[in-house]
C-alpha cells in the first residue's frame, strides 16, 4: 500500500442524515468549487436515485448517485463528488467500483455517465469509453462515456 491509499467505507445512503451528507458534499464541490448554480445541482432524480456515501475513518468525503434507466439494464451515474482532502487517494476509484457490486444494480450491464472533460482520463482508467463529442452541462464541458459489463465475469469491462 502506498502512502496515499486508504481504507474506505462506501455504503448506500439510506437515512436522511446520510443523504444530507451526500448533498452537502455535492454542494461543496459543484456549487462552491465549480460554480454550478445551486438550482441546478439538486433535481427530482435525487428522490429515486441510489446514492453512495464514501467515508474514511468515519469522515464523509465522497458521494455519487445512480439512476436505473427504464430499460432496466442501464444505469446513469452522476453527481460524482470527492472533497479536496480525499482527491488522489483512490476514493473516487473505490466509489465508482462500488456501483458494480451494489446489490440494487446487480442486473445492470451498462453504466453511462456525463464526464467533465478534465475527468475523462480518470473514467477511462476504470474502463469507460467516450461516445460523442463535447457538450455543455451546467456551464462545464462534458462528454458521454459508457462502461459495458459482462455480468458472467463481474468487474470485467467489455472491450468495444
pLDDT, one tens digit per residue, over 70-104 is: 999 999 999 999 999 999 999 999 999 999 889 99
Local confidence band at 143 (pLDDT 50, 70, 90 cut-offs): very high
On whether the CB atoms of residues 113 and 75 are closer than 8 A, the answer is: no
Domain residue extents for the chain: 9-148
Confidence of residue 156 (pLDDT cuts 50, 70, 90): low
* DSSP annotation of 72: S
Q: Are the C-beta atoms of 64 and 113 separated by less than 8 Å?
A: no
Question: What does the pLDDT average to over 109-113?
Answer: 96
Cell of 90: 483512490
Q: Check residues 159 and 95 and name the one with the higher pLDDT.
A: 95
The 10s digit of each residue's pLDDT in 23-75 is: 999 999 999 999 999 999 999 999 999 999 999 999 999 999 999 999 999 99
Write down the pTM of the prediction: 0.87
CA separation for the pair 86, 72 (Å, rounded): 33
C-alpha–C-alpha distance, residues 106 and 2, integer Å: 31
Residue where the block lists cell 436515485? 49
Note the pLDDT of residue 157.
Answer: 57
Topology given in CATH for the domain delimited by 9-148: Aminopeptidase (3.40.630)
What was the pLDDT predicted at 1? 28
Judge residue 62's burial from the number of C-beta atoms within 10 Å of its C-beta, 0-12 exposed, 13-18 middle, 19 or more buried: buried
Closest by Cα among 25, 34, 33, 29 to 139: 34
Amino acid at each position: 500500500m502506498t502512502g496515499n491509499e486508504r481504507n474506505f467505507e462506501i455504503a448506500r445512503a439510506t437515512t436522511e442524515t446520510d443523504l444530507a451528507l451526500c448533498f452537502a458534499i455535492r454542494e461543496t464541490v459543484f456549487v462552491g468549487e465549480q460554480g454550478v448554480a445551486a438550482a441546478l445541482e439538486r433535481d427530482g432524480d435525487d428522490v429515486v436515485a441510489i446514492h453512495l456515501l464514501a467515508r474514511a475513518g468515519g469522515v464523509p468525503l465522497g458521494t455519487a448517485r445512480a439512476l436505473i434507466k427504464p430499460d432496466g439494464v442501464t444505469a446513469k451515474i452522476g453527481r460524482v463528488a470527492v472533497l479536496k482532502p480525499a482527491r488522489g487517494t483512490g476514493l473516487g476509484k473505490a466509489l465508482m467500483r462500488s456501483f458494480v457490486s451494489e446489490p440494487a444494480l446487480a442486473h445492470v450491464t451498462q453504466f453511462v455517465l456525463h464526464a467533465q472533460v478534465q475527468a475523462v482520463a480518470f473514467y477511462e482508467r476504470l474502463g469507460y469509453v467516450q461516445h460523442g463529442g463535447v457538450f455543455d452541462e451546467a456551464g462545464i464541458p462534458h462528454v458521454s462515456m459508457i462502461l459495458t459489463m459482462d455480468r458472467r465475469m463481474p468487474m470485467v469491462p467489455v472491450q468495444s
